[in-house]
Amino acid sequence: METNDKTSPVTPEKDRNSISLDLMHRMRLHGMAAAFTESLQSTFAETMTPDSFLNWLLSREWDYRVARNIERLVKGANFRYNDASVAQIDYTLPRGLDRNQMERLASLDFVRKGDNLFITGCAGTSKSYLATALGYETCKAGMRVLYANASKLMGTLKIAKNKGTIETELKKLEKTQLLILDDLFLVPLDARERAHLTEIIEDRHGRKSIIVTSQLPELDWYDAIGDTTVADAILDRIVHTAHRITLTGESVRKLKAFKGR
């Protein structure tokens, strides 16, 4: 008797492929599984030796894991800009930015050494963008980064102090290889903020990096801290291992608008 069942029979080869894919996913070898599926849909794998095919699968799994790790690091960094890139920095704008210095910083040697970076300049000169672009490079190198608006961070730490969770919050900061403190000293620090900043810097001193962006020139930071003893302690720990970018000129948004005319 004839039947109308047009379902293709599962061949032993198809069955083995399905089992292999299932095992790859169970072992969380998702990059390898995607590559294996790709090989089943084309004939290029037939030209490979078994060793070459295995090497290709492993390379795809490695690339997948690296990309996922970068994705996690970028998400955890909480960057202000989603599109900041060292490659997209505009050096034609008259703001005193040196390409050679940025390229040296983008090598991330200062991060690996635990040095600091100060980026100062008027509002709108792209301090935050430059800091974030370097932060992205650090994530791509597999290192943990945290971007924080300095005023909001100090507010968060005050709340954590009241809740009794301050040590947990400080440990989160300490785990990052690069901490970006954006708009530090925009307003003078109060006593509790001075204490929190001192602890953050003490935890990182000589081991892990900080990028500070500020509208205040470095010479005015002493007064912004507001306490002579604390200012001496803070600045002594961050100034001597610091690289500096001093931006000049008008707002980048204003300059770009003028160039577009």
Q: How far apart are CA 139 and CA 71, in angstroms?
A: 8
Q: Give the residue, 47 or 184, on which the prediction is more confident.
A: 184
Number of C-beta neighbours around residue 81 at 10 A: 15
Residue 145: enclosing H or E segment and its boundaries? strand 145-149
Q: How far apart are CA 185 and CA 214, in angstroms?
A: 7
- Domain range annotation of the chain: 12-76, 79-259
Q: How far apart are CA 7 and CA 210, in angstroms?
A: 63
132-190: pLDDT as tens digits:
999 999 999 999 999 999 999 999 999 999 999 999 999 999 999 999 999 999 888 99
Give the residue-averaged pLDDT of 198-214: 94
Relative orientation angle of helices 166-174 and 150-163, to the nearest 10 degrees: 140
pLDDT for 261: 46
66-76: pLDDT as tens digits:
889 999 999 99
- Pair 111, 138: CB distance under 8 Å: yes
DSSP letter for 248, please.
-
pLDDT for 22: 87
CATH 3.40.50.300 fits 79-259, yes or no: yes
**Which of 168, 241, 177 has the alpha carbon at shortest distance from 208?**
177
pLDDT for 39: 84
Give the residue-averaged pLDDT of 194-201: 93
pLDDT greater than 60 at residue 255: no
DSSP secondary structure of 6-37: -PPP--HHHHHHHHHHHHHHHTT-HHHHHHHH
Looking at the chain, how many residues does it have?
Answer: 261
% of the chain with per-residue pLDDT over 70? 91
Torsion angle of the four alpha carbons 32, 36, 38, 40, in this order, in degrees rounded to the nearest 10: 180
Question: Position of tokens 């948004």?
Answer: 253
- pTM summary value: 0.81
